[in-house]
Chain A
Amino acid sequence: MSGDRVTRAPRRRGALLLASIVPLFAAGCGKQDVLDPHSHPERKISTLCWVMMTGAWIGFALVVVLLFLGWARRNRDSLPFGGGERAATALVIALGVAVPILVLSSLFVWSDIFVIRATDAPARGSTRLTVRVVGHQWWWEIKYPGTAAVTANELHIPVGTRVRVEGTTADVIHSLWVPELNRKVDLVPGREAVLLLDADRAGTYPGQCAEFCGLQHAHMELSVIAQPRPQFRAWLAKESKPARGSMPGAFAEETCSSCHEIRGTDARGQVGPDLTHFGSRTTLGAGVLPNDPENLREWIRDPQHPKPGNRMPALPLSDADVRALASYLEGLK
């Protein structure tokens, strides 16, 4: 936290320049602010962004000042030195060719040779933890290789640890992006995308699918929850265990089980999210609603209302069934 403040200090100057136009300081935790970095790669990206924005404003100001000069002396005779075609062409070459070549080659070397390394995918085996993420229309499946743990839409990682995320897609192209932690990477059919996640402070970092993936692209949130290592280990151990308690009849009878898996029961569906520890998740429907009993009952009654077009149908359930299902699912901690 304090280290973060120290590294941010020099950027404040550039920031002040823009503060009147770009009020980005309101941002904080729980946001998706590219310029509020919480990892090594994102700090690099953020610095790159501030430097380029400052340069861009200088270039912009130059042209605007020139145009203003033209406006200020409108309808007056040509400037005495303006008649010289050669001098004018030299100006165009200096500002339009020489200066851009210098600025652009420096930017190229800095960003595309050096900064780019910070966002490189980590090599296999170079991190302590690997997580697999599978994009689905419209939710995220998350697996922890080497354990039985499978969850959805909430990616837990230990704080201060480099994590290799391997992403694939089950259907169309999705894009995995947690703005305050790193770049984004597309999940393209037939390919494996690899991304480094590494949060330097405990907390929840929201993100969402960045590539248009159909009707509910807007409701495909992925939160990264960075926890201190002991808590993370405890969470992973609990998440790897099968569910406790007995499944209400409606879950099997009403075909919930043909789409959802609850480990340790007969429900083995592979279409929708694994619900083994559903009660410990914070949202429903990949971020459409907060996960509380009332919302859950509403979701079970008609999932098409809060998230039209999603793959879960509204089933003809009695109120008693809905209540039984909701209280069972909320109990799956």
Chain B
Amino acid sequence: MAVDVLTPGAEQRIERLHRVWRPRPGVLGWLTTVDHKRIGLLYFFTTLAFFGAGGIEALLMRTQLAGPDLNVVGPETYDQLMTMHGVTMIFFFIIPMTTGAFGNYLVPLMIGARDMAFPRLNALSYWIFLGSGIFIYVGLFMHRAPNCGWFCYTPLNRRAFDPGPNVDFYALGLIFNSIASTATALNFIVTIFKLRAPGMSLNRMPLFIFAMLAVSLSLIFALPSLTADLVYLELQRKGGFHFFDVAHGGDAFLWQHLFWLFGHPEVYIIVLPAFGIATSIIPTFSKRRMIAFPLVALAELLVAFIGFGVWAHHMFATGLPTITLVAFAAASMMVVIPSTIQVFAWTFTVVLGRPEFRAPLLFIGGFIVFFVLGGLSGIMFAAIPFDQATTDTYFVVAHFHFIIFGAAVFPILGGMYYWFPKVTGRLYHERAAQISFWLTFFGTALTFFPMHIVGLLGMTRRVYTYKPHLGWDAYNLSETIGSFILAAGLLLIFANLVWSRFRGAPSGPDPFRGGTLEWATSSPPPEYNFAVIPKVTSPYPNWDPADREDDARRLQAGTLVLEEGHETPAVTVRDGYLDEVLRMPAESPWPVVVGLGVALIFTMLLLSHFVLASVAAGLTLFALAGWHLQEPELE
């Protein structure tokens, strides 16, 4: 709050807000928290741990592939590493990092709310996410981790070919995990539609919020397809059903269709938050609004929508009828247009603005370069004959790593620097941050670019070793060297953030002069986010000084301060008129209890103790009853 002098009345109100929203101290406070910022931080540190695990898995694979005929890890370990790397990076790093950590922390702040719409559900999401991550990693520590690839095609996933619990860890772990993602997505949709500050009509929502809305809608519609697939799989593995079994009238294509009907929207679920982060960083450091703002907002939603119509381009080599292939190729080309709109809107905003290349904008520059590289090779796959030649080779590995590492993770890294002062109240070390950018940039290029070449030279994916006479050795070695440079760059980023957390210079509330509302409150933000619900008259409210002065006046007058209870305003969905004042739930032990119950259910299912699983389900229902008996307001 950019308020220099507070009248005694305003001070009293802030004091009162502080008392109403004050968290319980200590570990118990974190276990029972429903504060979106604390949940966001819990997500952040948990997903970072999974990022570390996925990264170590990647480095082990790259070490095994550094030269031909190496035997660093055997084929069984390699397959587990390969599967866990994919599953971890997608389900336990990128999605929870962008939605759980960035989304949770930033969405309420950017729309001027005091929390998410369903704070306890939000806490439950986190505990379920944590439980599912531990669940699937227990498999790895038992050396029984999923080993069928993240796509886990049938019939390879059947008991006949994979008799251990490996595939069950995969199927149950991902169903478990998808509960968390679904709950988070629902929470975002309601939060974004209902909890915006009065005045923030849909057309004044920040582009980050549009991206999070698109992601949440995609998750809601894509995850059921995956869940259905996984439920069929477990029914087949544990219940003797025959969904995918050709000999009994099932169909192996059913798995692939359902998987990719989820799997392709998933790609946009992964990159859309990155677009959102980019559209937050670019205007701040270019010192101008995003060019073609409405087009970019529309493009973010369109990408998510068209993304549901392209799944069969993952199946061009399976022998589907040509007419099907051509239709999906056309849709795949169509989905390029919203992306090109965004690329040029980002680029021209930088070029025509007054760009200041501090670390966050550098990472966005890297993001644009890699997104364009991966996007262009992606267009090549819409040319069916080329896809049929190069699918399942390292060319694909190169393509999608430029998308999901270059385009999805670079904005996450840039976003870590960008919002670090907001979360900690301190500045990161700029010089070290720039060095870390160049290390990760060259590391990424060196790791993934040669994969295009080696793919065209015929190197297939998912092989644990290869022969020396095919001309692949030098490329593979350079990829391995690149991966270690990349790892060094990432370590430097985290070292910088840890050092700055304790030694960084104080940042003040708004060190970069950002345009969105999170910069209108102090750093770190108070538990109640805003002392007064901010006034909004444009998509860049923090660039409207008159409105911020108005906030200060309203705090003195006590308009929309809501210090009487745990409250936040709700607005009409489209126009953002003040609708009602909602009473928000306080801290609660029930989310973590329900989370434990769900973990118990899945553990019993894994062990095929179906009776005990039903008992656990009963206990979970009791916990849910307790949850609903607790009054929302204890103050």
Given contacts A45-B386, A78-B354, A92-B344, contact A63 B458 (CB under 8 A): no
| Assembly CA distance A112 to B334 (angstroms) | 14
B251 at the interface (CB under 8 A from A): yes
User: What's the interface size class on B, roughly?
Assistant: 35 or more
B295 at the interface (CB under 8 A from A): yes
Tell me how many residues of A have a C-beta within 8 Å of chain B: 97
Among B370-378, B543-551, B586-594, the one that faces the other chain is B370-378
Interface residues of B in 331-364 (CB under 8 A from A): 333, 336-337, 340-345, 347-357
Given contacts A48-B383, A115-B383, contact A188 B344 (CB under 8 A): no
A323 at the interface (CB under 8 A from B): no
> Are A63 and B347 within 8 A (Cβ)?
yes
| Assembly CA distance A183 to B389 (angstroms) | 4
> Are B252 and A173 within 8 A (Cβ)?
yes
Interface residues as binary, B296-320 with A (CB distance below 8 Å gives 1, 0 otherwise): 0000000000000000000001110
A14 at the interface (CB under 8 A from B): no
Given contacts A112-B330, A212-B153, contact A24 B292 (CB under 8 A): no
| Assembly CA distance A59 to B286 (angstroms) | 23
Whole-angstrom distance between the Cβ of B455 and the nearest chain A Cβ? 8
A82 at the interface (CB under 8 A from B): yes
Among A203-211, A224-232, A312-320, the one that faces the other chain is A203-211
Among A31-39, A248-256, A270-278, the one that faces the other chain is A31-39
B442 at the interface (CB under 8 A from A): no
**Number of residue pairs spanning A and B whose beta carbons lie under 8 angstroms apart:** 274
| Assembly CA distance A77 to B353 (angstroms) | 7
Q: Contacting B365 at CB < 8 Å: which of A24, A71, A82, A210?
A: A71
B242 at the interface (CB under 8 A from A): no
> Are A217 and B333 within 8 A (Cβ)?
no
Instruction: Find the A residue at minimum CB distance from B160.
Output: A171
Whole-angstrom distance between the Cβ of A282 and the nearest chain B Cβ? 13
Q: Contacting B376 at CB < 8 Å: which of A22, A60, A75, A207?
A: A60
A67 at the interface (CB under 8 A from B): yes
A145 at the interface (CB under 8 A from B): no
Given contacts A71-B357, A218-B465, contact A115 B340 (CB under 8 A): no
| Assembly CA distance A119 to B452 (angstroms) | 22
Q: Contacting A24 at CB < 8 Å: which of B329, B393, B456?
A: B456
A3 at the interface (CB under 8 A from B): no
Given contacts A184-B388, A185-B319, contact A210 B344 (CB under 8 A): no
> Are B329 and A173 within 8 A (Cβ)?
no
> Are B372 and A118 within 8 A (Cβ)?
no
| Assembly CA distance A25 to B563 (angstroms) | 73
Query: Which 6 interchain pairs have the tightest Cβ spacing?
Result: A32-B458, A82-B352, A190-B246, A183-B388, A111-B383, A218-B463
Which A residues fall within an 8 A CB radius of B? Answer: 22-24, 26-27, 30-35, 41-42, 44-45, 48-49, 52-53, 56, 59-60, 63-64, 66-67, 69-71, 73-79, 81-83, 85, 88-89, 91-93, 95-97, 99-101, 104-105, 107-108, 111-113, 115-116, 118-120, 137, 171-173, 175, 177, 179, 182-186, 188-191, 193-194, 206-218, 287, 308-309
**Can you list 26 A-B contacts (CB < 8 A)?**
A32-B457, A34-B458, A49-B456, A56-B376, A66-B347, A67-B369, A82-B352, A88-B292, A89-B292, A97-B337, A100-B337, A107-B333, A107-B379, A108-B382, A111-B385, A112-B326, A115-B385, A172-B155, A177-B460, A185-B388, A189-B246, A208-B460, A210-B392, A218-B75, A218-B463, A218-B466
